[in-house]
Amino acid sequence: MAQPIIAVDFDGTCVTHEYPDMGRDIGAVPVLRELADAGYRIILYTMRSGRLEKRAAEWFKENGIPLYGINRNPHQKQWTDSPKVYADLYIDDSALGVPLKMTSDVTRPYVDWEGVRELLVKSGYL
């Protein structure tokens, strides 16, 4: 059986909020690599489009994190016409319950990846 699909937002989730520029590292890479190495299928689920979406996808490649899809689940159209990306789990700075950090050098909170990893372990994902 295939591992679950995890949809991951980009700005404020993988990097700090600096859209349309590329945000700074917030600690997502080790946890996302751990998920990928464990066989989880990761979908980049972002509001970015065009060249900005492509740049976000390149960030994953540069960090050795394979993507199963970008703003779509590649097998979803086989069973639904819904535009909502299907995943088993969503990691997003706007999601209720996702742990966030706020530091003095940013204007918006961002995902606390140590806290996310703890939740993933507690929930049996890792």
Spans of all domains in the chain: 5-122
Looking at residue 1, what is its pLDDT?
Answer: 58
Q: Which fold has domain 5-122?
A: Rossmann fold (3.40.50)
pTM listed for this prediction: 0.93
Q: What is the pLDDT of residues 2-48, one digit of tens each?
A: 789 999 999 999 999 999 999 999 999 999 999 999 999 999 999 99
Q: Can you spell out the DSSP letters for 19-72?
A: TTS---B-SHHHHHHHHHHTT-EEEE--S--HHHHHHHHHHHHHTT---SEESS
